[in-house]
Amino acid sequence: MESTCTEEKKEGLIEFYDSFSDMFEFFSSNTTIHGTIRLTCSKTNKMKTTFWVLLFIATFGMMYWQFGLMTNQYWSYPTSTTLTVQSKLNTFPAVTICNLNPYRFNQVNEYIKQLDHIAQETLYTLYRYNASFTSKEDLEVVDLDELLNSTINDINGSFSLNPNIALVKLQENGQEPADPEQKSYKLGFKLCNSTGGDCYYRSFWSGVDALHEWYKFHFMNIMSDIPLEKKITHNNGYKYSKYCILTRHRDIEKLSSVFYTVCDYIHFHHPTYGNCFTLNSQGENRKWTSALPGKQFGLSLIVKTEQNDNMPLLSTAAGARIMVHDPLHPPLLEHEGFDIWPGTETSISIGLDEVTRLGGVYSDCTTDGSEVGFNILYNTSYTLQACLHSCFQYKMIELCGCGYYFFPIAPGMEYCDYNKYPGWGHCFYRLYDGLLNHSLSCFTACPKQCRETIYHMSAGTARWPSPNSKNWVIPLLSWQEKYNITSNSSDISKISLYFKEQSLRSFDDVPAMPLTLLLSNMGSQWSLWFGSSVLSVAEMAELVFDIAVMSGIIAYKWQKKKAAKVEEK
């Protein structure tokens, strides 16, 4: 009888093998895995058998190496971004406009004048320049000891309202020069703690920047005692109609221009930019919708720049500050706003993107900031920048004992001033350096938003009104909005905002390696290396099960035989 590789086995209800060799031979001869039959058919040729055993082991190892790479990629939860462009009716974002100069409060106006006078003397001491921020007639003698608990001290040839805070000459290494008459120096800060034992130096390449920062520091100390309610309600008789002269946009139902003299706005006070107004603050008014792209279907504003109470050292620019943002997000103008030049028309085209990120195992993004662990100090929805500001403020209160004036503060806390906290400037700048170099824990505590609306803007300017048209534009504004016709036309600006296209780009994160793709890739690798399928995996599982059963049977027989020998003895 001719012998073959496949041997017939006796089959019954339960199949048992005589040995492991029989079991392996049966598996190799009947499995659907390619190449295993060579392990038994070539057993008479040891060289071939060795070759196929090594080839089988190498192939098996390569396949599972690929499995490991794919599994690691899956457990890293990668994402890919899909771009979708769709046409839709665009809703106008919120628009925040600020005057570039904060208004003066009557309660502290005398102290600000005194601060201007000290800055004037500082400029003369350092540069022998006689500035004219204030006239001697405007200067009033005030007792700064009562408000600031400090005296004017002469430190290294500069003046300061607090002996722990001074404008000084610094060397290239950031330290004070040994020779006060040294000509090569930079202007900077010297901030010491409450005892004066530890000092922090902050240098500036520009004397203008150094003096501005010095002035802003003392301005914060003066303004920190004014309650927030007065900053919002008190504006020295400043009315919105004096700032926003006219607002116009196209009505999508009537396709006609609709004029508003009283805009949908909220008013708030910004420490640097003064009076601020947010138009379309809730984003729920259907009339703030653009039917078509283009300037004629946009939003137009005519604003007046007030410079009567200018603080030349706090703000060196004239005009307006504008920011376009989501109505539910806080207007952080110092980070995202840009300036409008007075006497011009600024056309701003807006592009809209929506970004959706995957949360959970794919990223640490948040929907509402509930995972942050502290309350966001801004009364708006969660944003990354608002979270960073809030985190820094909590750190400031924890380490310095008081809050930074330019950020909101938690109820029951108070802002820093060197009457109560003489060394807070030293504490603040060291902490702020940690925020700038990302060593502060706030960057790990504040995740990105899972859903974010991003506005892309491009702007162009033109002179407005033109010399030929101002003769009728200014009188018309005077007649319609009581604009002061004697004012210079360069103190007004026109702002036009519009969508550049009627489309929305959506950037959505999707899993780059879902479970179905992982299984598909594993099946492809299994088929590549062994030419088999899922049923082949079941055959291997059956082999492992048979080996376990056979091992159990052999162990049972050995234990039984051993027990019988013990009984015979």
Tens of pLDDT along 497-518? 888 888 888 999 999 999 999 9
Check pLDDT > 80 for residue 174. no
353 and 488 part of one domain: yes
Residue 3 is predicted with a pLDDT of 43
pLDDT digits (tens, 9 = 90+) for 267-284: 888 887 877 888 887 776
Do 305 and 354 belong to one domain? yes
Mean pLDDT check: name the lowest of 48-52, 94-98, 313-317, 402-406.
313-317
**pLDDT confidence band for 236 (50 / 70 / 90):** very low
Whether residue 355 sits in one domain with residue 246 = yes
145 Cβ neighbours under 8 A, 6+ residues apart: 151
- 150, pLDDT greater than 50: no
- Predicted local confidence at residue 243, as pLDDT: 54
Report the Cα 382 to chain-centroid distance in Å.
10
In this predicted structure, what is the pLDDT of residue 148?
Answer: 34
Residues 220 and 242 in one domain: no
Whether residues 95 and 128 share a domain: the answer is: no
Helix (H) or strand (E) holding 451: strand 451-463
- Between 107 and 566, the higher pLDDT residue: 566
Q: Is residue 8 part of a domain?
A: no
Q: Cα(106)–Cα(100) distance, rounded to whole angstroms? A: 19
Q: What percent of the chain has pLDDT over 70?
A: 75
pLDDT for res 349: 92
| Choice among 92-106, 112-126, 155-169 with the minimum mean pLDDT | 155-169
Provide the residue type at 135 as one letter: S
Q: Strand, coil or helix: what is 55?
A: helix
Rounded to whole angstroms, the maximal C-alpha distance in the chain is: 130
**CATH code for the domain in which residue 390 is found:** 2.60.470.10
Residue of higher predicted confidence among 491 and 65: 65
Is the pLDDT assigned to residue 173 strictly greater than 70? no
Average pLDDT over residues 69-83: 91
List Cα–Cα distances, 426 to 149, 164, 208, 496, 505, in angstroms: 18, 9, 21, 44, 46
Residue 1 in this model has a pLDDT that exceeds 50: no
pLDDT digits (tens, 9 = 90+) for 195-211: 767 777 777 777 777 77
Q: Tell me, what DSSP letter sits at residue 104?
A: P
pLDDT (tens digit per residue) in 379-431: 888 999 999 999 999 999 999 899 998 888 888 888 888 778 888 888 888 88
Phi and psi torsions of 321, nearest 5°: -110, 130
553 lies in which domain range? 20-76+539-568
CB 95 within 8 A of CB 333: no
**Over the stretch 208-229, which tens digit does the pLDDT of each residue have?**
777 788 888 888 877 776 665 5
Percent of the chain with pLDDT over 90: 13
Considering the domain architecture, whether residues 275 and 155 belong to the same structural domain is answered as no
Specify the higher pLDDT residue, 234 or 431. 431
pLDDT(262) > 50: no
Residue 529 forms part of a structural domain: no
DSSP 298: S
Residue 38 in any domain: the answer is yes
Whether the per-residue pLDDT at 356 is higher than 90: the answer is: yes
Question: pLDDT at position 252, please?
Answer: 44
pLDDT category of residue 308 using cuts at 50, 70 and 90: low
pTM summary value:
0.74
Domain end (from 489, 507, 525): 507
Domain count, the chain: 3
* Co-location of 97 and 127 in the same domain: no
With respect to residue 4, please indicate whether it lies within any of the assigned structural domains.
no
On the question of pLDDT at 524 being above 70, the answer is yes
- 172/208 same-domain check: yes
Query: What confidence score (pLDDT) does residue 305 get?
Result: 73
| Highest-scoring range by mean pLDDT, 137-151, 235-249, 328-342 | 328-342
Mean of the per-residue pLDDT values of the chain:
76
Please report whether residue 478 resides in a domain: yes
The residue type found at 281 is: S
For the ranges 30-34, 41-45, 360-364, 531-535, which has the lowest average pLDDT? 41-45
CB 169 within 8 A of CB 177: yes
Residue 138 predicted with pLDDT over 50: no
Domain check: are 247 and 361 in the same one?
A: yes
For residues 293 and 150, membership in a common domain is answered with no
Q: Is the peptide bond before 331 cis (omega within 30 degrees of 0)?
A: no
Q: What is d(CA 362, CA 381) in angstroms, rounded to the nearest whole number?
A: 22
Boundary-marking domain end, from 455, 485, 507? 507
Residues 39, 172: one domain?
no
d(CA 476, CA 483): 9
> Is residue 532 assigned to a domain?
no
- The answer to which of 62-66, 311-315, 375-379 has the lowest mean pLDDT is 311-315
pLDDT value, residue 447: 92
Rounded CA-CA distance 262/471 in Å is 26
Note whether residue 398 is domain-resident: yes
So what's the pLDDT on residue 429? Answer: 84
Q: What is the per-residue pLDDT for 405?
A: 87
pLDDT at 161: 56
What number is the average pLDDT over the span 522-551? 86
Among 169, 191, 225, the domain-final residue is 225
Taking 50 as the threshold, does the pLDDT of residue 87 lie above it?
Answer: yes
In a domain, 531, yes or no: no
The verdict on 274 and 390 lying in the same domain is: yes
Q: By three-state DSSP, how is residue 58 classified?
A: helix
